[in-house]
Amino acid sequence: MKVSKEEIMHIANLASLTLQENEVEEYLKNLQEIIDFADIVNKANVDDLDITIGANEAKNVFRKDEIINFKNTESLLQNAPSKEKNMFKIPKIIN
Amino acid sequence: MDITELTVHEQQEKLKNKEITVNEILKAYLDRINDKEKDVQAFVTILEEDAKNKAKEIQQKIDNGEEKNSLAGIPIGIKDNICTEGIKTTCSSKMLENFISPYDATVMEKLKEQNIINLGKLNMDEFAMGGSTEHSYFKVTKNPWNLNKVPGGSSGGSAAAVAANLVPWALGSDTGGSIRQPASFCGVVGLKPTYGLVSRYGLVAFASSLDQIGPITKDVKDSAILLNIIAGKDPKDATSVDKEKKDYVKALKNNVKGLRIGVPKEFFKEGINEEVKQALEEAIEKYKELGAKVEEFSLDIAKYSLATYYIIACAEASSNLGRFDGIRYTYRTNEFKDLKDLYKKTRSEGFGKEVKRRIILGTYVLSSGYYDAYYKKAQKVRTLVMNEFNKAFEKYDVILTPTSPTVAFDIGSKTNNPLEMYLADICTVSVNIAGLPGISIPCKVDKEGMPIGMQLIGNKFSEETILNAAYTYEQSIKFREKYKPTFKK
């Protein structure tokens, strides 16, 4: 499948990435090469097979719904790029 | 006696007999790091003071007869994508350069219970994406056998540190070969356990359906000892499996008589270096001498597996790495117009090239119009790969392949060609796709003195079988007695 420049810009936007003008060509070339290689999956005879999601058999894993409070708030907040009192500070999102 | 030359079980024995102390062990490693780290560049963080304090504490307990753990005071190195409370966990990324984990990964809790001392965090390809440790934001780790070569990756810091005697053993993580391939390149032992045997809680997620934590060690017995510590069901990881506790050291019987070994001929064809092939053929002969039943068979899945791997791993990564948005994990861009702009700038500045490449590929195969053609197809091929392995394990106990098609390559030789770099994973990825255990052990060195690794693959939860097979071979060839890293430039 041929990937266009518009497409890779669209994909980058979906992934919340900005590609510089001089980077686009390189990423496009890389993606095209890898996609061409990955196309081999379309040659495998898998029509009758189910999909596999995880490495182990898919079954529900249950445990008791017990509340364990994480008390070390300080240690969480030390990773905040911006904070105020006991809160992560983020830019205004509603105008 | 150079303490750093010893395996962990040898150190353990000497501690027990009071021939050495915990402080002496630590001092030996710190001296070694002082001498060799400038050449190898394996560490992101060295915990010298921390380790000294703990060693003192533990030695006192031993002197007072209060210490019950026979591994207490043995140091370890930890790949920098495994969370360590109060200590930086960077994933070798600018994005997490200052990230300090608020909690310990489950494997770290288990090591602490044994009073094993964390000596430092080890370099890796950024977010474990790569096969050479050249994709670290901080530094390029060098191969101790030749400093112009890569150590492999992504657990390159872990493998190089063990090979260079900077730590006695280390933890790595393996999503497509990231424990086994660097172990192979650095002439050490790397074990990727069955998916679900070891808790992933606190391992920074790359591809959650493929990731596993495992040991990188000097020999097979140390690998079994470390697996004994880290294996087990964890309520915090729903994909960890509840199995009866095993003693993997007891599985090492030094006997492979009657063991059925299958050799998939496709893994020895195109792209496999001649010397690697020859070394593996010698290993096969050795197994025959030792009484194993070796047979060639067809397992034509390598190329499908590699394509499937890059589709699934990148798809999962594009989702897992969505959390790094400039809100919660330390790095945030300086200037931004609005929230979307903050996300985009933070991610574009914080992630390196290879990580962005994989996020783009992953987003592409998950996007509308391509989901069915790539992602869904890859999930079906995953079933195919599992079925093929299941068939093989009806006939064989162990599958034997090279770990990597080549020995360690020159630093810089593949960084401009991502696809070529990906092809280096061709022997290892199918093991992750199928969730199987695999171990890499060194066979010999090539003409230039670079180690060649052999991979033994087992059926699910048959770590005992592959560990014993690896151990028996190791005891008969004695790689460590014959070859040592030269640090040549």
User: Are A14 and B363 a contacting pair at CB < 8 A?
Assistant: yes
Q: Shortest Cα distance from B147 to chain A (angstroms)?
A: 29
The predicted pLDDT at position B242 comes to 92
| Contact status of B429 with chain A (Cβ, < 8 Å) | no
Domain residue ranges of chain A, discontinuous segments joined by +: 5-43
Buried/exposed code over B271-307 (b: 16+ C-beta within 10 A; e: otherwise): ebeebbbebbeebbebbeebebebeeeebebbbbbbb
Q: Among residues 317-346 of chain B, which lie with CB inside 8 Å of chain A?
A: 318, 322, 325-332, 336, 338-340, 342-345
Pairing of strands B75-79, B117-122: parallel
The predicted pLDDT at position B397 comes to 98
Q: Shortest Cα distance from B358 to chain A (angstroms)?
A: 9
Is residue B449 within 8 A of residue B145, CB to CB? The reply is yes
What CA–CA distances, in Å, run from B267 to B428, B433, B471? 10, 16, 23
Say which amino acid occupies B419: L
Q: What angle do CA B78, B80, B85 make, to 5 degrees?
A: 80
B154 in catalytic set: yes
| Contact status of B99 with chain A (Cβ, < 8 Å) | yes
Q: Which residue in B92, B93, B154, B199 is the catalytic one? A: B154
The predicted pLDDT at position B174 comes to 98
B178 in catalytic set: yes
User: Are B367 and A39 a contacting pair at CB < 8 A?
Assistant: no
pLDDT tens profile A14-34 = 999 999 988 999 999 999 999
The chain-wide mean pLDDT, for chain A, equals: 91
Partners of residue B456 on adjacent β-strands: B400, B439
Neighbouring residues of A57: CB distance < 8 A, sequence distance ≥ 6: none
Q: For the domain bounded by A5-43, which CATH number is listed?
A: 1.10.20
Q: Shortest Cα distance from A29 to chain B (angstroms)?
A: 10
The predicted pLDDT at position A55 comes to 78
Spatial distance between the Cα atoms of A60 and B239, rounded to a whole number of angstroms? 10
| Contact status of B301 with chain A (Cβ, < 8 Å) | no
Which residues of chain A does B418 touch, with a Cβ-Cβ cutoff of 8 Å? 30, 33-34
The interface pTM score, or ipTM, of the predicted complex is 0.95
Which residues of chain B does A45 touch, with a Cβ-Cβ cutoff of 8 Å? 384
The predicted pLDDT at position B227 comes to 98
Q: Which domains does chain B have, with CATH numbers?
A: 3-252 (3.90.1300.10)
Q: Among residues 213-252 of chain B, which lie with CB inside 8 Å of chain A?
A: 235, 238-239, 241
Helix (H, G, I), strand (E, B) or coil at B274: helix
Pairing of strands B189-192, B169-174: unpaired
B92 in catalytic set: no
Helix (H, G, I), strand (E, B) or coil at B75: strand
Per-residue confidence in pLDDT tens, chain B, 489 aa: 899 999 999 999 999 999 999 999 999 999 999 999 999 999 999 999 999 999 999 999 999 999 989 999 999 999 999 999 999 999 999 999 999 999 999 999 999 999 999 999 999 999 999 999 999 999 999 999 999 999 999 999 999 999 999 999 999 999 999 999 999 999 999 999 999 999 999 999 999 999 999 999 999 999 999 999 999 999 999 999 999 999 999 999 999 999 999 999 999 987 899 999 999 999 999 999 999 999 999 998 988 999 999 999 999 999 999 999 999 999 999 999 999 999 999 999 999 999 999 999 999 999 988 999 999 999 999 999 999 999 999 999 999 999 999 999 999 999 888 888 888 899 999 999 999 999 999 999 999 999 999 999 999 999 999 999 999 999 999 999 999 999 999
Q: Shortest Cα distance from A85 to chain B (angstroms)?
A: 15
SS (H, E, C) B7-73: CHHHHHHHHHCCCCCHHHHHHHHHHHHHHHHHHHCCEEEECHHHHHHHHHHHHHHHHCCCCCCCCCC
**Helix B463-477 × helix B220-230 angle, to 10°:** 160
